[in-house]
Amino acid sequence: MEKLPGQANEESSRKTASDPVTSAERRSLRSQTPQEQAESQRKLNDLLATLWEQRKGILLERLRVLKESIADLETSGSAESRKRGAETAHKLAGILGTFGLPRGTDLAREAEVTLERPAPLEPADLHRLHGLADELGLLIDHRSLPNGR
Amino acid sequence: MGRRILIIDDEDDIRQVAALSLETIAGWDVVLANSGALGVEVAAKEQPDAILLDVMMPEMDGPTTFLKLQSTPQTANIPVLLLTAKVQGSDQRRFAGLGVAGILFKPFDPLLLSKQVSDALGWKD
């Protein structure tokens, strides 16, 4: 199948550094019976665990950006730092639960909502944001595999 | 029945996990695009059975991309499911008002994503 230039790049990136298996391998996991279905779920969990290990560094880098934004807000209080922090928290909220860390989604979402509030941030807000970021760091660092994931 | 799904999301992690999920659990073919503009091009060329479309993307966001898909004859009839981490009611009402086929929320459960897509689109297979 012919691919658009941009799509070809995207497909290429999927199947190299950031993708633990090829599409053909994934499709081979299709199942029909309940036993095969259970097996495909187990294999999906294994693939997700592999993907987590590959992406963990990127998530920690996002957390670093969030912490940096919070630190900036203590000194400059700039709208740009606040926007960057909110966007980063939003991204973390969207992915952590998908990797089996629903608590991480809750923490990141609280940070996002706090940073998006129109009101100026109070010292108590900044203290809470630091606490949220620290707990996120612990969760990401020590992620186990809840529910087999 | 084999399906082809286009995922439009600027987030690498989301694209990767969603593709793993749909291909492994449902056996669907998945096509990816990392921006709204590219997504419109890919949709017109690949004619997927449905599109999962992220809301918050730089340059062309999800709602804008959806309107572009709707105004393009080759893609106007492809059902679109918005994928969003926004949970506030006002956001949801705004998205629903666009006329999309449904809204799915991040974080999603990779084991259940294909079922959520099928349910939202009324697919029985």
- Stretch A28-43: mean pLDDT, rounded? 73
Q: Looking at per-residue confidence, does B94 or A11 come out higher?
A: B94
Q: Looking at per-residue confidence, does B70 or A79 come out higher?
A: B70
pLDDT digits (tens, 9 = 90+) for A62-99: 999 999 999 999 888 788 899 999 999 999 999 999 99
pLDDT digits (tens, 9 = 90+) for B28-54: 999 999 999 999 999 999 999 999 999
B24/A11 CB distance under 8 A: no
Whether the per-residue pLDDT at B123 is higher than 90: the answer is yes
Q: What is the residue-averaged pLDDT of chain B?
A: 92
A23 contact B CB<8A: yes
User: Residue by residue, what is the 3-state secondary structure of chain B?
Assistant: CCCEEEEECCCHHHHHHHHHHHHHHHCCEEEEECCHHHHHHHHHHHCCCEEEEECCCCCCCHHHHHHHHHHCCCCCCCCEEEEECCCCHHHHHHHHCCCCCEEEECCCCCCCHHHHHHHHHCCCC
Sorting pLDDT into bands at 50, 70 and 90, what band is B125?
low
pLDDT digits (tens, 9 = 90+) for A102-135: 999 999 999 999 999 988 899 999 999 999 999 9
Among B1, B4, B16, B31, pick the best mutation site for testing chain A contact (most A Cβ within 10 A). B16
Residue B15 neighbours by CB under 8 Å, 6+ apart:
A14, B7, B9, B32, B34
Q: Which residue of B has its CA nearest to A13?
A: B12
Whether the per-residue pLDDT at B6 is higher than 90: the answer is yes
A95/B11 CB distance under 8 A: yes
- Which residues does chain B have within 8 Å of residue A16's beta carbon, measured at their own beta carbons? none
Min Cα separation B106/chain A (Å):
5
Assembly ipTM: 0.82
- Which residues does chain A have within 8 Å of residue B107's beta carbon, measured at their own beta carbons? 93-99, 102, 105
B106/A58 CB distance under 8 A: no
- Cβ pairs bridging A and B (under 8 Å): 105
Min Cα separation B99/chain A (Å):
23
A95/B17 CB distance under 8 A: yes
Task: Name the residue among A26, A41, A48 with its Cβ closest to that of B23.
Answer: A26
Q: What is the pTM of this model?
A: 0.81
A109/B87 CB distance under 8 A: yes
Sorting pLDDT into bands at 50, 70 and 90, what band is A60?
very high
Q: Which residue of B has its CA nearest to A55?
A: B13
Q: What is the residue-averaged pLDDT of chain A?
A: 79
